[in-house]
Amino acid sequence: MEESDNQLLDRYAAGEEPAFEELVRRHQRTIYDLAYRMLENHADATDLAQRTFVQAFLHLRSFRRESSFRTWLFQIGLNLCRNAIRDRGRRTHENVEDLQLAASSDIFEAAAEAEVRDRLGSAIRKLPERQREALVLRVYHNHAFAEIGAIMSCSEGTAKANYHHAVNKLRQVLVGKESNL
């Protein structure tokens, strides 16, 4: 039977180094996936995923086990993502509405499915921060809304609202695009 995260954390705290590696291996793909979906390139995602684990183990004493270790990693990872995105100065002057205007231009009239996917990616990037986080956590990591709320430090209702707004904005972008085809 597989050990729980908390059992591994106990072993790590007792000085058993293999427990450290097992914990990282267990969650590395998930955290990398989160980072990649938020930052959208391998180098940044790798950097951020590593820093997420470093911060987690560095401040392990502050993990009170009120949530799962996985949720805690997501909290740290998302905070680092926010900082990284702000540092980059991304999304400061753009928003989804700009994209919708672009959708009506002739430039995109010959769009194919691949382009729609690209547009979807662009639209995701331009979502407000909280909406994008809720979207990523829900669609790609299958978190329940209560858990998304815990990760994002908000209520379950707020998490749902952020997610619904995100999906509706993306729908508007795609509908606006496809109506021009």
Partner 1 sequence: MTCSDIRNMTVPYLELDLEAERVRQVTVHLETCHNCRSEMESVRQVLVRLKGRVVPDPGQRFWTEFPGQVREGLVHAKAGAPGPVTGQVRPYGVGSSWWSWAAAASVIILVGAWLLVGGQLFSTPDSDLTRTSSTPTIEASNTGRDSELPNLAETDWDRTWDEDDPEVLVDIAARLDPLTVDRLFKDI
Residue 170 interacts with partner 1 (CB under 8 A): yes or no: yes
Residue 139 interacts with partner 1 (CB under 8 A): yes or no: yes
- Rounded Cα distance between 19 and 76, Å, is 20
Structure tokens at 78: 């998302």
**Which letter does DSSP use for residue 15 in this model?**
T
* Choice from 12, 69, 74, 163 touching partner 1 (CB under 8 A): 163
What Å distances lie between residue 142 and 12, 31, 96, 139, 154, CA to CA? 28, 13, 24, 6, 17
Residue 146 interacts with partner 1 (CB under 8 A): yes or no: no
**Shortest reach from residue 121's CB to partner 1, in Å:** 7
85 Cα distance to chain centroid: 12
Contact in structure between 70 and 6 (CB atoms under 8 Å): no
Residue 36 interacts with partner 1 (CB under 8 A): yes or no: yes
Contact in structure between 71 and 151 (CB atoms under 8 Å): yes
Residue 111 interacts with partner 1 (CB under 8 A): yes or no: no
User: Restricting to residues 77-106, which ones interact with partner 1 according to CB under 8 A?
Assistant: none
Which parts of this chain interact with partner 1 (CB under 8 A)? 20-21, 24-25, 28-29, 32-33, 36-37, 42-44, 46-47, 49-51, 53-55, 57-58, 116-117, 120-121, 124, 135, 138-140, 145, 160, 163-164, 167-168, 170-171, 174-175
